[in-house]
């Protein structure tokens, strides 16, 4: 199985914020944004693995900036690291100024997807070869995030979490 570059999984979804998608403050519902991010991440994972993919976890979401009614929202997702059958997808959310067109980063998230076969059993996915400095940084951090998740779930002995230990030595 040949490794792939994160850019091969890049998925960009752009849409408007409509009145039915907003809260009483006329900002996009958080759940609506989560759904948009899940769709983009799913497509990115599918592009990378070329398999059926399922959401395994939402590892991190930062609602840093409200997204007002009428905003143009762009969700960009791509695989930051692939493990055996799972893939970490990093998502950046941008809003576009209505008058100037200037884009501002509003939110970000990290999802994990697992590639499965037709019976739902996990299958192997290609590895990732990061190219840009940002991709390399996200790739390296993905292993630390995975080890932390495994330690917290009781699936990995903290003494075996070599990447995490390296942060504190």
pLDDT tens over the chain, length 169 residues: 899 999 999 999 999 999 999 999 999 999 999 999 999 999 999 999 999 999 999 999 999 999 999 999 999 999 999 999 999 999 999 999 878 889 999 999 999 999 999 999 999 999 999 999 999 999 999 999 998 888 888 888 888 888 877 777 6
pLDDT for 150: 86
How far is the C-alpha of 98 from the C-alpha of 149, rounded, in Å? 39
pLDDT for 158: 86
pLDDT for 61: 95
pLDDT for 165: 74
How far is the C-alpha of 28 from the C-alpha of 17, rounded, in Å? 7
How far is the C-alpha of 51 from the C-alpha of 56, rounded, in Å? 15
pLDDT for 54: 98
pLDDT for 159: 83
CB 65 within 8 Å of CB 27: no
């Amino acid at each position: 199985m040949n490794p792939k570059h994160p850019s091969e999984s890049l998925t960009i979804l752009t849409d408007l914020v409509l009145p039915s998608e907003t809260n009483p403050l006329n900002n996009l519902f958080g759940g609506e944004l989560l759904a948009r991010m899940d769709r983009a991440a799913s497509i990115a994972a599918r592009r990378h693995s070329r398999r059926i993919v399922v959401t395994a976890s939402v590892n991190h979401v930062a609602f840093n900036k409200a997204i007002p009614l009428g905003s143009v929202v762009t969700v960009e997702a791509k695989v930051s690291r692939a493990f055996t059958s799972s893939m970490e997808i990093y998502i950046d959310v941008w809003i576009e100024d209505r008058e100037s067109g200037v884009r501002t980063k509003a939110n970000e998230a990290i999802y994990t997807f697992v590639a499965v076969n037709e019976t739902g059993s996990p299958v192997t996915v290609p590895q990732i070869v990061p190219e840009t400095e940002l991709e390399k940084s996200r790739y390296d951090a993905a292993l630390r995030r995975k080890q932390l998740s495994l330690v917290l779930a009781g699936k990995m002995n903290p003494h075996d979490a070599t990447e995490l230990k390296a942060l504190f030595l």
